[in-house]
Amino acid sequence: MIRLLIVDDSALMRRFLGRIFEAEPDFEIASARDGAEALDMIRDFAPHVVTLDITMPRMDGLACLDRIMVEHPCPVVMVSALTEDGADETLRALEMGAIDFIPKPQGTISLHADELAPLIVERVRAAAAARVPRSRRLAERVRFRAESHAARSSQSARPVASKADFQLSDDCVVLIGCSTGGPPALDAVLSGLPGDFPWPVVVAQHMPVSFTGPLARRLDKLCAVSVVEVTKPTPLEAGHVYIGRGDADVVLTRRNKVLTAIAMPADPEHRWHPSVDRMVRSAMEHVTASRLVGLLMTGMGNDGAATMAELRSRGGHTIAEAKQSAVVWGMPGELVKLDGAVDVVELPRIGERLMELAR
């Protein structure tokens, strides 16, 4: 049985979530009205996963999350309003160690039950099986490692499970796909890249539209590379990172012979958006495979695995995040199963590996 603790000051939300999981045969449920009550219950109930509202009296969700990560580390899924304010708080929670987030129903809750229930169950079930991040300060550790690496004159060590050396041209494009656990993983990787990184980077991170803009702005403040959300046709430039707009797909095309990222309406053939598969497929249509580097990081499902495996077979370079560091080893694990990863690298070393390839 999966022990689930639902933490929300709204009795209506507690009932809504409780009924969803009572219909599942493998969940045991308890509930708390605020963060302080949740901390008391965690000691005895020992939940496998917690759903945590952000705005609550006495002790809010962020304060409670911080205590949980220090005192009783376990997977936490934030219950978030799909607004920009909600996005900023949720991104902060993910940085602090939350595994994922689920949308808070707007308006009459009962009208959204059938639509949201499968998504909520899937995400909470995946979070219950997820690896709790070892550190809430991973990005800072990566920055320190990158600075120390640059200061050393000795040649850096090779990454884990490197299978081959590729000759990459000066005008490559890096394609990154991620989902659950992706925002802090992106911070960890991108913060290790210098502002003069010689290639553009395009990112498909599964997220709703109200979150990708705040994510891009947050990363832009934290990283030396420039980070923007793709909201209009945007020519790719070296040293820039392009975050696909949520609830849409980011694709690459050529306009006046210039490689350009554009936001396209979500393709219903793909389940998750922005779609990693569609991004990589569009890149292979306009860029020689030997000029593409595909990176698949933490996330449930298999989005991007088949197309990145094809990219490798065509002569591109592919990297899968190692199981030891991935919050959810779904997407990168599927790439490894298909023998589609040239390198399998733990998260703290991925930025380093990209720099090695660029050199």
The pLDDT tens digits of the residues spanning 184-217 come to 999 999 999 999 999 999 999 999 999 999 999 9
pLDDT grade for 123, boundaries at 50, 70 and 90: very high
Task: With a cut of 60, say whether residue 261 has pLDDT above it.
Answer: yes
Query: Which residue in 272, 284, 218 sits closest to 246, CA to CA?
Result: 272
- Domain borders along the chain are 2-128, 142-358
Q: Two tokens at 145?
A: 């490692």
Q: Would residue 240 show up in a list of annotated catalytic residues for this protein?
A: no
For 2-128, CATH gives 3.40.50.2300
Tell me 325's DSSP state: T
Q: Would residue 170 show up in a list of annotated catalytic residues for this protein?
A: no
**Which tops the pLDDT comparison, 280 or 141?**
280
Q: Would residue 179 show up in a list of annotated catalytic residues for this protein?
A: yes
For 142-358, CATH gives 3.40.50.180
Q: Which of 8, 277, 303, 343 is flagged as catalytic?
A: 303
Rounded CA-CA distance 119/272 in Å is: 12
**pLDDT tens, position by position, 29-59:** 999 999 999 999 999 999 999 999 999 998 9
Residue 278: which H helix or E strand, with range?
Answer: helix 276-286
Q: What is the phi-psi region of residue 316: left when phi exceeds 0, alpha when psi lies from -120 to 50, beta otherwise?
A: beta
Task: With a cut of 50, say whether residue 151 has pLDDT above it.
Answer: no
Q: What is the pLDDT of residue 141?
A: 47
Whole-number average pLDDT of the chain: 89
Comparing 2-128 with 142-358, is the CATH topology the same? Answer: yes
Q: What is the phi-psi region of residue 185: left when phi exceeds 0, alpha when psi lies from -120 to 50, beta otherwise?
A: alpha
Whether the link from the prior residue into 274 is cis, omega within 30° of 0, is yes
Average pLDDT over residues 290-307: 97
Provide φ and ψ at 249, rounded to 5°.
Answer: -120, 140
Neighbour order of strands in the sheet with 76-80: 27-32, 2-7, 49-53, 76-80, 100-103
Query: Which residue in 48, 219, 43, 234 sits closest to 132, CA to CA?
Result: 48
Q: What is the pLDDT of residue 110?
A: 58
Q: What is the pLDDT of residue 134?
A: 58
Q: Which of 48, 206, 240, 273 is flagged as catalytic?
A: 206
Q: Which of 8, 31, 80, 179 is flagged as catalytic?
A: 179
Task: With a cut of 80, say whether residue 292 has pLDDT above it.
Answer: yes
Task: With a cut of 50, say whether residue 159 has pLDDT above it.
Answer: no
Average pLDDT over residues 344-352: 97
Q: What is the pLDDT of residue 157?
A: 36
